[in-house]
Structure 1
Amino acid sequence: MSNLAAPDVSFVVLSYNYGRYLSDCLASIVSQHTAAAFEVIVVDDASTDDSERVARSFAEPRVQFVRHAVNQGHIATVTDGLRLARGTFVARIDCDDRYRPNYLSEVLAVFRHYPDVGLVYGDVALIDDTGMVTAERVDRAHGGRDFKGNELTRLLEENFICAPTVIARRESWRQTLPVPAGLAFHDWYFTVMMARRYDFYYINQVLADYRVHAANLHTTIARNKTEETSIFRVLNMVYGEREAMPGLEERKQRVRRQVHGAQYLTLANKYFGFGMDSDAQRCDLAAVRYRPAYLVQPAVMRRLLATVVGRKPYELAKSVVKSAPALTK
């Protein structure tokens, strides 16, 4: 394949024991409504299910399958895919997600119109294990409009870019390598590092479906707390270096306490949802130290109350309040 002309786009598909979803993902790529030339690189991290059979069942010359002999983890898998990619633009997707048919035509139109943009993305719908849509839209950051500009400071506060819609110039991806060993994730790392160099463009359309199920990586790393340590590793990296883009360093430093407070607040909410009350309390208190105004937020007050008095008294008090008759004047 390396002797052929370089394609316009490379799709890097990350595969590990999701054979039951892989066909859906690959079908969504090869059926794109576009005249652009593209290749599909499936990098399988030594799956023990039928992932290889599913990938090889696609009688499609644009699809190539690369398999690790032994499991190497998500960082090695995505790195291998990015290094094999030959396209001018590269999209990476986990094989449990899928694209909408107009994905490629929409994102390439933006790159043609805005040559200064390094990364393009859009909104997603949420789907369940069976592929049924459970939420039509998820973006809350752009007010229902397209957006072009730098998003570093917002990204440092929250990972609001949904990975399956991301496509970037090949050099943008490669400038982020190597991914630091031991990070629990790579999607937020990539977008943060690219936002330090480039403007992004958000398309206010649903361009992909993001599958939510019990085995999601982000659920696992939140529960085992490796997400938390990785988030602050990335923040320490970013705040330990100066930004080259004009004005970006000053904006980044101005929101430093806000960034750390927001990340702790998000972690507290996740831990509370998982019943990890001591970790929820720890992160809520850390968030308040960075941003004291959080203390008067009802959600923070409720979580702190629950983690201090215990879940049972908290739930009992909540039910009493709900069932009490409304006070009248």
Structure 2
Amino acid sequence: MGKINYATGIAILQFIIYPFVFAASLFVWKRTGWRVGSKIWRYPAVLSLLRIAGSISTFIAIDHNSTQVQIAIAVCQLIGIAPLVLTYVGILRQIDFEQKMPPRRLTIVTLVALIGLILAIAGVSTAKTSPGETYKPGTLVKVAMAIFLVLFAATMLLSVWLFYSLSFSLLRFQKKLFLAIALSAPFLVVRMVYSALSDFTTINEFALGQNETVYLCMSVLEEIVANIIVLSFGISAVLQPDFVKLNAEQMKERDQQHPDEGKPLSGQDYNTAYNGANAAYNPAIHGAQNTAYNPAYPGAQHNTAYDPVYNGGLAPAYHGAQNV
């Protein structure tokens, strides 16, 4: 039987904590709506599953250590930043139910983060990680880390911009979600710094598996605290009376050049479209059918043949009624 060490203790901690994080993320996801919430709250759920899988891989390594097991441990440990960044993007989607931000901006951030995630998985999977060897990040991992750093900075800037845009009209649930971002962001900054030092420097303390205390304090605990803060305020937000539950249409990425295409006209737009632009009505042709809105009949639609008797006047029989 292998020896239970410091790394195993960290794995035990994660194995205890993250099932609760997973359950909390499912609760918020369900309250938000399974379909719509998949773009918001699935990411902490995915991170929880990664951490649980990493813990199980560490347990397996006690008695059956191998290159494949080490790769599984490295993958689960090193790709947690993408779900964390995408969680913030999802929270911004939930806050911005009025779509102050163009949806394509958040979509681009999400797609770039997924590209970074793919690069990170590919980089870690192809790295030479054998039992007893120090993990050395390759080019793909470094590129992925650079992408995550840029995306994290962009997400924070978007959060600040959105806060000031909505600062005078914030609902209670929006305030809760902004607090989730503001209070958890410092912990995620420490987590990002740890990963950046691990990928871009040769400092031994930040290399994977070299200093478990640094890893515990700057990565594991930071993630746990950040997730607890985000999900605590997330649960509080979805339980607020003013919580706005998004629908599928609000989450659908719309064509920015034609944002109103396919939408029914509002009452104001209906009147504007007909008043002053009556193409169907031709006053020069008597007996023609007037299918457009006739100002002579306020609130009514005149579908019968046009009668000049009523042109410019209002017949008592039609006043306040609809001629169908």
More strand by share: 1
TM class by shorter-chain length?
Answer: under 0.3
Larger Cα-atom Rg: 2
> Could you tell me the TM-score, scaled by structure 1's length?
0.25
More helix by share: 2
> Could you tell me the TM-score, scaled by structure 2's length?
0.26
